Each structure stands twice: as structure tokens, then as C-alpha cells.
Structure 1
Amino acid sequence: MLRNVTDLDLRLLRIFASVVKCGGFSAAQAELNISQSNISTQISNLEQRLGYRLCERGKGGFRLTPKGQRILDASRNMFDAIGSFRDQAQALSESLVGELYIGLADNVVTLPQACFSDALALFQKRDQDVHINLFVNSPNELELAVIDGQLDLAISYFSRSRPPLEYRPLYTEEIGVFCGDRHPLFGVADPGMDAIAAENWVLHGFLPEDQELPLRPESSSATAYHMEGVAHAVLAGTHLGYLPLHYAQTWVERGRMRALLPEQLRYDVTHSMVTYAGRSRSEAARAFVDDLLSVHGLTG
């Protein structure tokens, strides 16, 4: 009785299927390139493995038994399944599959140097069936998510490095000081540094206290952990705040914001791709990293 299917069983079943297709042992010799007696031996071995007769052969000719017909049908189904598995396995050798988890800083879509959307477009051209999960969070939360394995990679401005992580600079972003049209300094043509520093500010909660800034505020009654929070406080006219120039541009054009002392109160930050150093990446993650670096004119 057949308790498990071995490579030998598959070979015997293929010989059996060829014999049936050819209509007998003698006719199958040419197709199988083995002698009639050898074919007979192989079929007998298969019948012994199964425990019952598959076909009648002799002077009356070749014909299948009822069980032989059932085995033929079952073996054909099995061969079809093996062929389907082979085709899928071969297709997967060049195809990317699975899930991809990516973290991003908020409000960088208007930054010309940030080519993340180009990286997405390039990745979509690959032979892939990958589900992409995008998350927006503060730099600190993004770093922790990469460390915990919740994200494959993240892109943001990181003020300092964490030892388990690897940082790859991608592009820079220009930051300035802004006030809203409701703020008393909005109509002042040339406010001094001291006056600006003495105003009420909204601070960035994701920046360390020793972060180097062109002007450090003296007073603050609000902390924001995303750029949108800073923008709300500035537009309220109650606070001054540091904002990316590209992000504030929409409100500047509408007359809702203005940059204060733009030649002096301006600095650049570098946005980096962060991954966990030493942790193996999925094929999809490796491919996306390659595409991300490529659209930023970098190599792996």
C-alpha cells in the first residue's frame, strides 16, 4: 500500500501515463526509449507499490482496470498541479512579493528635492506584487519603529544618530522663521533679533534642547510634534515658529504668513533614509531602497 509518494513513484506514474497514451507496452517503447520488458517491470513495481492491478495485458490486448483509470485520472491531476507549482515558482524567481512598511516625515511632498513619489513610481514598474504601507510620524517615532521592526525604512530629518540604525543622507530642506498675519510683527518691516526672540514661540518637540538654531527663543507656550501643528500655531497669530520654506510658501503667497529676517534666520537640515544596521531586508525592501537611492542620484 502506498503511504507516501516518492520520486520513484512519480517516475513510475509517468511511465504508466505514457503507456496508456500510447495504447500499450509495445507502442510505448519508442516514446520512453526503454524496452518492453523493462516497461512491464516498471508497471509491475507500481502495482506492487499500490497494492492492486492497473491494467490487463496479454493476448487480449491492453486495457485499464477500473482502479487503473482512477489512478490515471488522479496522476494527471497531480502532474497538472506540479506543473502549475513549477510555473509559479519560476515566476517568483524574478517577482517581488510581500509587504513593505515605510515611514515618512510629514509635509515634504512640496519639497522639490524630495523624490519619494518618483521612487514609488519606479518601484511600481518592477515585476512585483507588493503591498506598500505608508506611515507619517515624528522623527523619534520613526526611528523607534525601525528599531522595533515595524518599519523597513524611514525618511525624515533626524537630529542625532542612534547606534543600531544606519543613516543615508538623501536631500536638504531649508528652514526659516515665520509669523502669521494676525501677529503684531507681521506688519513690522524690520523687527530686530531681540524682539523676535522675546516673542511667544511654538517649539518643535522632536528636536533636542541642544539643537543648533540661528535664533533660540526666550519664551514658548506651545510644542508641536509635526509641522502641521507648528503651522496652526503660526497662523493663529499667537506664536512664531520655524517652518520649511517650501511648506510655508502656500500661506506666504496668500498673504497669511511672512518670513522674518529671511537672510539671517534660515538654516538647512538634511533628510536621511534610516534602516536597521545588520538586519536582513526583504527582497522588496532591498529593491525599494535601490530605487529610492537611484532617484536621488545615489548608489547603494
Structure 2
Amino acid sequence: MLKNVTDIDLRLLRLFATVVRCGGFTAAQAELNMSQSNISMHIGNLEKRLGYRLCERGKGGFSVTPKGRSVLEASQRMFEAIGVFVDQAGSLSGRLVGDLSLGLADTIVTLPHTRFGEAMAAFYRRDQEVQLNLFVNSPTELELAVIDGQVELAISYFSRTRPTLDYFPLFMEEIGLFCGARHPLFGRASPTKEEIASANWVMHGFLPESSILPLRPQRSRATAHHMEAVAQMILAGTHVGYLPCHYAEIWVERDGMKPLLPKQLTYEVEHSMITYVGRPLSEPARAFVDDLMRVHRNSRPAGSVG
């Protein structure tokens, strides 16, 4: 029976939370940099400390027991409380301390008006000693990372809204439809929409079927969850697909890609910052959000709203 919580217990509880988030021992090996047998041993030690099983593992697969779910929820509340304590204790010195975990969409580094770099530079001019953790992932994975508490905030294009998340619009991004130099449509000056729609497409795994697109494919035999994977399939000449225009520009300039009917099939998406509803941000996260919102406000033309 657990009568007090030691540093070892905290590490074991964090390990258990990671295993649950990953969906099992096997999937957690890479993130924990630990063998499956080691993970099993640590979970077993935690179960001995608590006096009951937290999860089932074996031929039937991985599942969390009801008591394990309760422990997970209680430990997450404890981690949040520890984070608040660290923030408040550190703020007394006038210096930002603790961890700051952020999520980003891929490819936005080539989009000048993101202002992310300016915000990060402003944050590092503050009196701080913060451990920064950056994650690049698909929109769906970023939403889940914010909900699970893996990151405090994320910036990406989100094609839908979830009631558990707050959305703060930041900037727009232009998306076009592209084919590679090896594709039969590359040599066509003005292919028809019907010809383009009947080509083999690579679709974005994070776009729901209800998304409003200028043109939808008649067939698709490839799905990608990151923009780089979409670009690889387009460059192969086997598929056409949507890409951010700023990201595709380097290949367009080298005649490795070209946009298809850009005046008709180009559209814009809005990127937002998301946070979890009702979950207080850490002091470093609040400071970074202030810097992020300020640089984007200052970049808007006079008379713009937002």
C-alpha cells in the first residue's frame, strides 16, 4: 500500500502515463527508449507499491483497469499541481522557470508571416531558464497532444473544432494542387478538372470528408499524415495532391512540380493556436502566448480586425 510519494513513484507514474498514451508497452518503447521487458518490470514495481493491477497485458492485448484509469487521472491532477507549484515558486525570483512544451504543424517554417520565430526570439529575451520541448506533428495528433497534456499549446490548421479546446486564429496559408515532373499531367498546359479528378491522388489523413475543397478526387490510393509525405508522392510522379504553395515553391522553381489550374484550385486555410479549455497555462506558456499574440497583432495591416 502506497503511504507516501517518492521521486521514484513520480517517475513510475509518468512512465505509466506514457504507456497508456502510446497504447501499450510495445508502442511506448521508442518514446521511453526502454525495452518492453524493462517497461513491464517498472509497471510491475508500481503495481506492487500500490497493491493492485493498473493494466492488463498479454495475448488479449493492452488495456487499462478501472483502478488504473483512476490512478492515471489522479496522477495527472498531481502533475498539474506540481507544475503550478514550480511556476509559482519560480516566479517569486522574477525569472521564468520550468518546462514549456509546444506543438507545431510541419512546413510552416517556410511561411514568412507565421511570426513564430519572432515570438520565440522575444521569449528568449525574457529573464528565463526554461526547458523548451518542441513537437512537429499532424493537426489531429497535435489536438490529442494538447488534450492529453503532452503539450500546453499547439499551432496548426484545424479543419474542425473540438469543444474541449480553445482556438485563437493567427495567420492564413495558401494551398494549391500540384503534380510532379514525372506525372502525365505535367506536360499539359490546361488539363481539365475531370482529368485531374480522375488522376490518382494522395489524400491528407487529417482532413475529414466534410472538408470543403475546390476539387475532390474520384480515386485515391494513398493517404499521408504529414506534408513531407504528400510531397514525396507528388515528386514520384505517381500522384497529385494538395500542398502549401510556399512549401511547394522550391520544387516549382526547379521544375520538379507545377500547380494544376492555380486560379481555380487554390484555396486558403486559417492556422490557429489551441489550448485546453479550463486548464491553466504554466507561467512560461503564458509568457510565450503573450509574445506570440503580440507579434501577430503588430504584423496585421492597419484597420484589420482581430
Same fold, judged at TM 0.5 (above) = yes
Pair 1:148 & 2:148 matched? yes
Q: Distance in 1 between matches of 2:249 and 2:208?
A: 26
Cα deviations across residues 147-188 of structure 1 (Å, max 9, x unaligned)?
111111000000001111000000000000000000000010
Counterpart position of 1:284: 284
Counterpart position of 1:256: 256
Identity of matched residues, %: 65
What is the CA-CA distance between 1:283 and the residue it aligns to? 0.7
AA paired with 1:155?
I
SS state at 2:289 partner:
helix
Counterpart position of 1:235: 235
Cα deviations across residues 17-41 of structure 1 (Å, max 9, x unaligned)?
xxxxxxxxxxxxxxxxxxxxxxxxx
SS state at 2:213 partner:
coil
Q: Distance in 1 between matches of 2:227 and 2:90?
A: 47
TM-score by length of 1: 0.69
SS state at 1:212 partner:
coil
What is the 5 A alignment of 1:38-49? none
SS state at 1:106 partner:
coil
Q: Distance in 2 between matches of 1:116 and 1:90?
A: 25
Q: Which runs of 4+ in 1 moved over 3 A?
A: 89-93
What is the CA-CA distance between 1:91 and the residue it aligns to? 8.0
Unaligned runs of 5+ in 1: 1-88
Q: Distance in 2 between matches of 1:251 and 1:91?
A: 47
Counterpart position of 1:47: none
Cα deviations across residues 81-124 of structure 1 (Å, max 9, x unaligned)?
xxxxxxxx898432100000000000110101111111110000
Counterpart position of 1:96: 96
CA contact (8 A) 2:90 2:97 kept: no
Unaligned runs of 5+ in 2: 1-88, 299-304
TM-score by length of 2: 0.67
RMSD: 1.6
Q: Distance in 2 between matches of 1:182 and 1:148?
A: 42
What is the 5 A alignment of 1:83-122? 92-122=92-122
What is the CA-CA distance between 1:295 and the residue it aligns to? 1.1
AA paired with 2:283?
E
How many residue pairs were aligned? 212
AA paired with 1:234?
I
CA contact (8 A) 2:183 2:237 kept: yes
SS state at 1:97 partner:
strand
Counterpart position of 1:123: 123
Counterpart position of 1:8: none
Cα deviations across residues 56-101 of structure 1 (Å, max 9, x unaligned)?
xxxxxxxxxxxxxxxxxxxxxxxxxxxxxxxxx8984321000000
Q: Distance in 1 between matches of 2:167 and 2:161?
A: 8
Counterpart position of 1:187: 187
Cα deviations across residues 178-214 of structure 1 (Å, max 9, x unaligned)?
0000000001000001000000000000000111000
Q: Distance in 1 between matches of 2:278 and 2:93?
A: 24
SS state at 1:113 partner:
helix
